[in-house]
Amino acid sequence: MSTFQAPKGTYDLTPPRSAKFLAVRAAISGPLKNSGYGYIETPGFEDVALFARGVGESTDIVSKEMYAFETKGGDKLALRPEGTASVLRAALEANLHKAGNLPVKLWYSGSYYRYERPQAGRYRHFSQVGAEAIGTEDPALDAELIILADQAYRSLGLTRFRILLNSLGDKECRPVYREALQTFLRDLDLDEETRRRIEINPLRVLDDKRADVQKQLGGAPMLRDYLCDACKAYHEEVRNLLTAAGVVYEDDEKLVRGLDYYTRTTFEFVHDGLGSQSAVGGGGRYDGLSEMIGGPALPSVGWALGVDRTVLALEAEGVELDIPATTSVYAVPLGEEARRVLFGLVTELRRAGVATDFAFGGRGLKGAMKSANRSGARFTIVAGERDLAEGTVQLKDMESGEQQAVALDELVAVVRARTA
């Protein structure tokens, strides 16, 4: 065992479990690639001000959880705690919005970092797949993203997740609600930190998970009663489009999410098998974020789905993904001449697109066949001096146990046909 271990609150992905994470990423990104979303990748760290302005200084993410540091050159940077601000910054920097094809539709996958109290489903380093549609205000875009996430989860075999939906209003109607909510909250018995939050971002108090706070929020004014006609109509259209697509959702008037930039549509995917960390993903519309970080007005919507939590949700439901074996064929040489010949055949098979591995290390037949079994290979190729003298190798079907001699010059064609 090494002297060193992964830092607290982080994890290593190793086979075979890592294959499950790759399968989840592929399942989430699949519907996006099929719907006009192009791949984007951003640095693992950004100017700390990008998140302070975009995510919001009052959020726990910025005030408590962000890994911020100063470089030797004096730059103030932060490990990215979320993806949207970085993706929007990159899109603006590359002038993607000026290419004349709005919305700019992007998807991404990567690691994110927050200094949190580690527990199951909540890590200091976590993996997400996200999607952003930048530059267009259209309820059909909001609905599209929710539908694509629903499609991704269902393609994995998940059934026990729920979609929570709300509208946070816009710059016209939210200030009126904000004032009414602040007036209500100021009369409650709350700690000093929560009182400070009332003045900075009172909606976040609604999202407080503590039982003593939730108990006092029973009579809080509801945002739905303050939505302007435009926001009501927009939200109703999102709801109608989801219903028409057969996507089931629940209205949740207390859903605000943990980021300051959300406007209008906000949604969350929750799974009942994960305990307190029930959110597996979520997102919403963020029409003012571009202006917050110095860009032009670009109404946008997006989401991020947690790969880690999706894997936990699969395990909670007992869903086993159909992950093909990484190796189709395993070559076992018996002797030096066979080692040279089979290694050449392995290279040929790989070039022909057949996933092939080799018994390295000069082990005997028994040990090498054990490795072949562990690899999950459907076929093994075994050759010794006698086989080579006859110009053949032995091809064994690991499922049926059947074995046949195959001519060396026909092997690649025969294996390709059997593994197709």
Q: 142 Cβ partners below 8 Å, 6+ apart? A: 238, 264, 265, 285, 301
d(CA 202, CA 179): 9
Confidence of residue 93 (pLDDT cuts 50, 70, 90): very high
Domain covering 329-419 in this structure, CATH number: 3.40.50.800
User: What tokens does 278 get?
Assistant: 């029930």
pLDDT of residue 114: 92
For range 392-400, the mean pLDDT: 94
pLDDT of residue 298: 96
- The closest alpha carbon to 51, from 243, 260, 234, belongs to 260
- How distant, in Å, are the alpha carbons of 19, 109, 120, 122, 362 from that of 14? 8, 18, 18, 19, 26
Residue 10 CB neighbour total at 10 angstroms: 14
pLDDT of residue 286: 93
pLDDT of residue 117: 82
pLDDT at 33 over 70: yes
Residue 131 CB neighbour total at 10 angstroms: 28
- The closest alpha carbon to 289, from 279, 277, 300, belongs to 300
- The pair phi, psi for residue 119, each rounded to 5°, is -160, 175
pLDDT of residue 260: 65
Strands 38-39 and 104-113: parallel
Which of 48-52, 58-62, 131-135 is predicted with the least confidence, judged by mean pLDDT?
Answer: 58-62
- How distant, in Å, are the alpha carbons of 294, 359, 416 from that of 333? 64, 7, 20
Q: pLDDT tens digits for 126-139? A: 999 999 999 999 99
Q: pLDDT tens digits for 254-309? A: 887 766 678 899 999 999 888 766 899 999 999 989 998 999 999 999 999 999 99
Domain 17-173+227-317 has what CATH class? alpha beta
Percent with pLDDT over 70 in the chain: 96
pLDDT of residue 62: 72
The position carrying tokens 């590359």 is: 94
Which of 140-154, 273-287, 377-391 is predicted with the least confidence, judged by mean pLDDT?
Answer: 273-287
* Coil vs helix vs strand at 306: strand
- The pair phi, psi for residue 195, each rounded to 5°, is -65, -40
- The closest alpha carbon to 416, from 354, 355, 341, belongs to 354
For range 200-225, the mean pLDDT: 84
Q: Which DSSP category does 279 fall into? A: E
d(CA 306, CA 304): 7
* Coil vs helix vs strand at 363: coil
**Residue 417, phi-psi category: left (phi > 0), alpha (psi -120 to 50), beta (remainder):** alpha
Q: 127 Cβ partners below 8 Å, 6+ apart? A: 21, 25, 109, 110, 111, 112, 306, 307, 308
pLDDT at 415 over 80: yes
Amino acid residing at 218: G
User: What tokens does 310 get?
Assistant: 């999706």
Confidence of residue 194 (pLDDT cuts 50, 70, 90): confident
For range 55-84, the mean pLDDT: 84
Which of 29-43, 196-210, 276-290, 339-353 is predicted with the least confidence, judged by mean pLDDT?
Answer: 196-210
As a residue count, the chain comes to 420
Mean pLDDT of the chain: 91
Confidence of residue 58 (pLDDT cuts 50, 70, 90): low
All CATH 3.40.50.800 domain ranges of the chain, comma separated, are 329-419
pLDDT of residue 30: 97
- The closest alpha carbon to 319, from 5, 23, 53, 115, belongs to 23
For range 86-99, the mean pLDDT: 96
Percent with pLDDT over 90 in the chain: 70
All CATH 3.30.930.10 domain ranges of the chain, comma separated, are 17-173+227-317
Which of 88-97, 270-279, 337-346 is predicted with the least confidence, judged by mean pLDDT?
Answer: 270-279
DSSP codes joined into one string, 42-71: --SEEEHHHHIIIIITTSHIIIII--EEE-
- The pair phi, psi for residue 338, each rounded to 5°, is -65, -35
